[in-house]
Structure 1
Amino acid sequence: MQDQKVVIGSEEWCSFPALGIPKIKARVDSGAKTSALHAINIAPFRKDEENWVRFDVNPIQKNVKTVLHCEARLVGRRIVKSSSGYKEQRYVISTDICFDNQTWPIEMTLTNRDSMGFRMLLGREAMIGRMLVDPSQSYLLGQPTSEELKTVYRDAIQAKSGLRIGLLASNPELYSNKRIMEAGESRGHDMHFLNIKECYMKLDGHNPEIHYRGGKILNDFDAIIPRIRPSITFYGCALTRQFEALKVFCLNSSKAITQSRDKLYSLQLLLNHGVDIPTTGFANSPLDTDDLIKMVGGTPLIVKLLEGTQGKGVVLAETKKAAESVINAFKSLNANILVQEFIKEADGKDIRCFVIDGKVVAAIQREALPGEFRANIHLGGTASIIKPTQEEKRIAIKAAKAMDLKVAGVDIIRSSKGPLLLEVNSSPGLEGIEGATNKDVAGEMIKAIEKNFKLQKTS
């Protein structure tokens, strides 16, 4: 009967209970036969001897941070021709749709609708016998407020058992930090940026706490991702230790970060684990400068401040006189330095292997710009994809394990003696390696948390 049909406008809000989608805005199109849902990361799988498909949905227009992880029974595949004439093969699912408290099963295709105005297209097959369309009207069945949307999406994401993850860092606008936040949210986790300088702690044998500026207590996190700038290593590691005392899983431990930041100690640890490095010398007195230079094979050589970071406090001394001058100048300031052989045959190149949870997930070759020297370290220039050798992968994984780091940027240089390890970074940047390799390194970090959190809970 016509009077039993629901009258809808050209745009309406609907929901998909079985998919866990509480609200999604749909474009009503009686000219389209089949309905379509925006979906990304689509992957078929078997469940109960049937074909199913997993996919992620960004239910809000122009919002990639809100992500719901869904799965549905797979009906099949279908060739769909768009209004522009483009043909695409899509997965077809069957699920229940809900309009105005009425629910019925429909079939719809999965496709990336980022370029479209609506995340959902409601076709005529889903409406036959149930709806009448008044194209002059919109949202006849009601429209949620922005606050209502925030609430229903937050509840939906939490219902999917996401973890509460804190990113302990300094700059929320840094590419690496933004990517990690996005990656965590895209996998359904409740992500929080925690500014190191705004955290403080209560040391108490019975009731230890971590507070955030304003008095908010931060004791309810499942996991923490420490990304600590070298200049605040001491305080950042103290906070990480406090989270560890609260039995919160930390992707890199405070001990691992602390020892990775001590250049001399880290090199000694690496050597003790059988990882080769460029010949390096360390002395306390200027009286030993001459023998120190000979020890590393003479000039040219590299002088590195122990407290220096990411290329700062590094000098290339090309002659013995220059080396003596630089070493003695640093010593006169009571600065601790390392003296290291210069690997000329590397020709201004090094390899950065990104290790996550004992696996090299991405690698790039970095090359200095013309006219720059590299002093056995990365000073900038260009980055390109490279396939590291098995030996280079072995060294990278072994180095990360020696430092007890689950996430590490391992820098390797190719020499006539074979690959040599230069440095292990406990807070490696993501921009260069994701840009060059087009790999979701941030997502791999979140997956490592999921895996290790489960292991921690079952052990």
Structure 2
Amino acid sequence: MNNNKIVVGSNEWCSFPQINIPAIKARVDSGAKTSALHAVNIVPFKKEGIPWVSFEVHPLQDDGKTTVHCEAQVHDKRKVKSSSGNSEVRFVIKTVLSIADDTWEVELTLTNRDSMGYRMLLGRQAMSGKMLVDPESACLLGEPTDDLLKQHYHNNLVKPTGLKIGLLASNPNLYSNRRIIEAGQERGHEMEFLNIKDCYIKLDGKNPEMHYRGGRILSDFDAIIPRIRPSATFYGTALTRHFEAMGVYTLNNASSITRSRDKLYALQLLINNGLPIPTTGFANSPLDTDELIKMVGGAPLIVKLLEGTQGKGVVLAETTKAAESLINAFKSLKANILVQEFVKEANGKDLRCFVVNGRVVESIMRTAAPGEFRANIHMGGTASLVKITPEEKKVALLAAKTLNLKVAGVDIIRGQNGPLLLEVNSSPGLEGIEGVSSKDIAGKMIEVIEKDLKYKRVEEVDNA
């Protein structure tokens, strides 16, 4: 203690006894005015004529199975600006915070924090006069053990009652993969991460099988969500195709993923369907380099590796000489490349339209970092919500439909004569778009599986 104030680190464990949350890890943020609690299924109602709200809290990070059902009297409704700069109207409740053997009443706004690092944000309004923050430290007040957390929440585990869904991918710790697992668990499904490298196939005309590390046979899955990194495309699509042969539903099928990964083939399919793209050239011989450069309008131009992704293998050649050197260097390495016109009026910006089951569920504008020409948030770029035009929406939907993708990230730039399609990604990342929009995009992916498999959740049946 210091001057009777509690000294805390950048994150600490606390509890909210009045709403039955015995332990939750909070991000301590003196830069935020208000405190926020992760809440879903927020439903207002009246109790003896007084406004109340019911909601569900998943108190443990990366865990959609542990669910606490809460009710509280509504203190206020308030417009709050999130860290991503977006405003939303939130319910505000008052409840008792317990930390370091001390308790006091705080205001909490209720919001979906799935895309944030912590289920709870403790703002300066709740800390004022009570705490001192040491930002270089963490959990100064101690941490509950896993056994204690299990003891706290053993009655709050949601038993799987739904589908068995496998996530076929390479990195279980990737944000997108964690969110999909969590979104499925929140809806009562049994979710399992299946590492691509640990799967192997039994080819048998009468009884095809998928085996997993240790000899386990994967025979009881209702659906598979393939999220295949480019370096694993060949093996990952082979596994996806085998699941299909076994009669398992796949969110994106193997042939669609294969089409999207072959950038040249994908562009050919897209232009054959009338979709606009930047002028693009492809040649095999270095003898054709000069013609290739002229074909796309000369320098500056873009050189793209056919196997590249997330901005890797994409280079800007600012002069004709640089373009010649770059193209010839790639060709000497026997690398397959596309040469594409540089659309200057795009000004380092592009649109990412997230398409799920024939609908654009969200769109963001990505802006390149200073000195960069690629609008890529993995390379220091920024993202913000954007309202797309009807023409841009039409391009995004037709692109996903052309490649037969249920889930797609469609990248578009705004040219002087209208939208130009850059690329269609069959395993689009969720972190940027969920972080900016605060929408449950992962949940919308799970809903597609439920719809296609004609599955109804328990509450939907009860309300029917």
Normalising to structure 2: TM-score of the pair? 0.69
Counterpart Cα distance in 1 of 2:20 and 2:276:
58
The change in CA–CA distance for 1:334 and 1:363 in structure 2 (over 3 A counts) is same
The change in CA–CA distance for 1:255 and 1:267 in structure 2 (over 3 A counts) is same
Letter in 1 for 2:356: I
Hey, what does 2:461 align to over in structure 1? none
1:373 Cα deviation after fit: 2.3
Counterpart mapping for 1:241-256 below 5 A:
241-256=241-256
1:418 Cα deviation after fit: 0.8
Q: Which has the larger radius of gyration?
A: 1
Counterpart mapping for 1:30-41 below 5 A:
40-41=40-41
Hey, what does 1:184 align to over in structure 2? 184
Letter in 1 for 2:421: L
1:375 Cα deviation after fit: 8.6
May I ask how many residue pairs the two structures share in their alignment?
A: 360
Hey, what does 2:308 align to over in structure 1? 308
1:316 Cα deviation after fit: 1.1
Counterpart mapping for 1:3-402 below 5 A:
40-43=40-43, 57=56, 64-67=63-66, 157-158=159-160, 161-374=161-374, 379-402=379-402
1:294-324 CA deviation, whole Å, 9 max, x = no partner?
1111111111111222222222111111111
Counterpart Cα distance in 2 of 1:283 and 1:145:
60
The change in CA–CA distance for 1:245 and 1:455 in structure 2 (over 3 A counts) is farther
Letter in 1 for 2:227: R
1:413 Cα deviation after fit: 0.4
Counterpart Cα distance in 2 of 1:148 and 1:436:
33
Contact 2:300–2:341 at 8 Å: present in 1 too?
yes
Contact 1:210–1:217 at 8 Å: present in 2 too?
yes
Instruction: Name the SS for the 1:224 alignment partner.
Output: strand
Contact 2:311–2:376 at 8 Å: present in 1 too?
no
Give 5+ residue unaligned stretches, structure 1.
1-23, 28-37, 46-52, 91-112, 117-143
Hey, what does 2:419 align to over in structure 1? 419
1:291 Cα deviation after fit: 1.4
| Coordinate RMSD, CA, aligned | 3.7
1:147 Cα deviation after fit: 9.2
1:218-238 CA deviation, whole Å, 9 max, x = no partner?
110111110000000000101
Contact 1:377–1:422 at 8 Å: present in 2 too?
no
1:55 Cα deviation after fit: 7.0
Hey, what does 1:122 align to over in structure 2? none
The change in CA–CA distance for 1:285 and 1:276 in structure 2 (over 3 A counts) is same
1:65 Cα deviation after fit: 2.1
Hey, what does 2:84 align to over in structure 1? none
Counterpart Cα distance in 1 of 2:281 and 2:449:
38
Counterpart Cα distance in 2 of 1:217 and 1:290:
55
Give 5+ residue unaligned stretches, structure 2.
1-18, 23-37, 46-51, 76-92, 97-103, 111-118, 123-147, 457-464
1:335 Cα deviation after fit: 1.7
Counterpart Cα distance in 2 of 1:87 and 1:243:
49
Counterpart Cα distance in 2 of 1:201 and 1:211:
6
Aligned residues: percent identity? 65
1:39 Cα deviation after fit: 7.5
Contact 1:224–1:249 at 8 Å: present in 2 too?
yes
Instruction: Name the SS for the 2:374 alignment partner.
Output: coil
